[in-house]
Structure 1
Amino acid sequence: MGGIGAALFCSSQSFSVFSYAQIHVQNRPSSPLLVHKLSSFSNHDLILAKTRNHLRFKDVARAADSSQPSSVITSSDKDIVPDDEFSLAKVSFGVIGLGLGISLLSYGFGAYFNILPGSEWSAIMLTYGFPLAIIGMALKYAELKPVPCITYADAQLLREKCATPVLKQVRSDVIRYRYGDEQHLDEALKRIFQFGMGGGIPRRSAPILQNIREEVTEDGKYCLVLVFEAKALQLSDFEKRQAKFTSFFGPRISSEIVKGENDLYEVRLISNTTL
């Protein structure tokens, strides 16, 4: 051939350039040196392709890592403390009285009619069972269940030293069964919102305590959050009584009003006592 041409072969992974002379020689069976060179060239392309894919994988992995948060909060101080401590305040006396009274009445009637053994004790069982059942039903009717309490670990550590006696008493009152009250913090709400008085709100519009929360503010102060549901009130109804919340649950506290989701309003009682 008069000249030397070139041919370009492309594939999805790599490409190779061969001269027409090399192609002509390649067709000859006796070219070991040329075959070795072409094989080395192909192996080199394979190594480059693998290296390129490896670097691409590293870039993707690095991008995935950078998309994640730079820091993850794993401090136990933000953990919620489980409320698994047994206390008589968490026991319903209405359930106890009603259950004990019905049990005595049932066994007493069974023993009286000789269905159950112990007929000689049937009169005593009936005598004590009836009033216990009545008292249990009355307590159950007047029962006010405790509200849920969410306590963070850092707030629990500050409670004993930083929470005021009033805040401790409020927490203790709302997480136990109460009897005879229409709702939790009934007296406090009556004075703050002045039910049925001039400038006050109707009794039926009174906010209802849904839950409480113990947490620590950004500046390290103990905070007791009262979460109310008030469908008939606006944020302004709470804000204009903020000073009354502070004075009633004081001294040595400040208060904040925050609008929550739906019809929920948060009254944050922040203790001014610090470590």
Structure 2
Amino acid sequence: MSIKTSIGGGGNILCSQRLNFCGNRQLISFNQCSPLNRLSNQDHFIQTPKNYVRFKFVIARAAESSRASVPAAVAGGKSIVEDDEFTLAKVSFGVIGLGLGVALLSYGFGAYFNILPGSEWSALMLTYGFPLSIIGMALKYAELKPVPCLTYSDAQVLREKCATPILKQVRNDVIRYRYGDEQHLDEALKRIFQYGLGGGVARRNAPVLQKIREEVTEDGKYCLVLVFEAKALELADFEKRQGKFASFFGPGITAEVGKGEEDNMYDVRLISNTTL
């Protein structure tokens, strides 16, 4: 009779069993059969008053099917800094208002119908629950989520000393929740691309900010990269407005535009002229 069992660490025990009965004693032997990769052979003898048991194990290593992935700490030879700083600007007030309002309404109705305790407070909870829910829904509807920010460690070091106040403000504005704006940098894009005006673009074709990057140029300058998606525009539409990007986000910067890594993506590089 063949026996195949498994052990922790991905190994298998392959063996065969032969039973012989000799009077009052039972002899059980486990012999090797077809090992895959031999690691070690171990013979163990255990003697009991009525039994002699002999074990011969052959451990075969199983091929690893997958390897635990290690979070990438570098990209393109540069280390990436995760933005784990907590600020209220990164919290959705729509979610807070709606959650608190619904909680008050739910408990208020439960207390009013004597399902939950605290019936004397039910009127107060219902009074504040309704407006909080309405405000929360309104904020959630008008909410503009923050865009992802990729920061390299060398750029983080230069940010405080080399980034202009406008570049710092642009970064802080787009990585937080905003309310009432159609998109991030809406006022800037409206002036640069002149929506609906002669020589401008239609608003429905306006570029949309997808993410930003903080990096250092080859000559050691701080650079804030705005990554836009514009399906209806071409690189020439950005190139002829390169000077407008520099003047709007200036002074003290140089603007460069180029094609992004993906289709319909365009990079606007705002390079600070301040150096250490």
TM score, norm. by length of structure 2 = 0.72
| 1:232 partner SS | coil
Partner of 1:272: 273
Displacement after TM superposition at 1:78 (Å): 2.1
Displacement after TM superposition at 1:217 (Å): 0.2
Q: Which has the higher helix share?
A: 1
Give the distance between the partners of 1:121 and 1:221, measured in 2 at CA.
60
Alpha-carbon deviations, 1:234-268, whole Å to 9, x = none? Answer: 00000000000000000010011110120000000
Give the distance between the partners of 2:210 and 2:174, measured in 1 at CA.
10
Residue correspondence of structure 1 range 76-225 to structure 2 within 5 A: 78-225=78-225
The residue type equivalent to 1:119 in the other structure is: S
Residue correspondence of structure 1 range 30-69 to structure 2 within 5 A: none
| 1:80 partner SS | strand
Q: Which 5+ residue runs of structure 2 have no aligned equivalent?
A: 1-73
Q: Which has the higher strand share?
A: 2
Give the distance between the partners of 2:193 and 2:268, measured in 1 at CA.
14
Give the distance between the partners of 2:202 and 2:82, measured in 1 at CA.
37
Give the fraction of aligned pairs with identical amino acids, expressed as a percent: 83
Give the distance between the partners of 2:163 and 2:103, measured in 1 at CA.
44
Give the distance between the partners of 1:242 and 1:154, measured in 2 at CA.
26
Give the distance between the partners of 2:78 and 2:237, measured in 1 at CA.
32
Give the distance between the partners of 1:256 and 1:83, measured in 2 at CA.
26
The residue type equivalent to 2:198 in the other structure is: G
The residue type equivalent to 2:265 in the other structure is: L
Partner of 2:16: none
Q: Which 5+ residue runs of structure 1 have no aligned equivalent?
A: 1-73
Alpha-carbon deviations, 1:170-216, whole Å to 9, x = none? Answer: 00000000000000000000000000011100000000000000000
Question: Is the counterpart of residue 263 in structure 1 residue 255 in structure 2?
Answer: no
Displacement after TM superposition at 1:232 (Å): 0.1
Displacement after TM superposition at 1:147 (Å): 0.1
Which of 180-189 and 82-91 deviates more? 82-91
Give the distance between the partners of 2:241 and 2:258, measured in 1 at CA.
13
Query: Aligned residue pairs: how many?
Result: 202
| 1:172 partner SS | helix
RMSD over aligned CA atoms reads 1.4
Q: Would you identify which runs of 4 or more consecutive aligned residues in structure 1 move more than 4 Å?
A: none
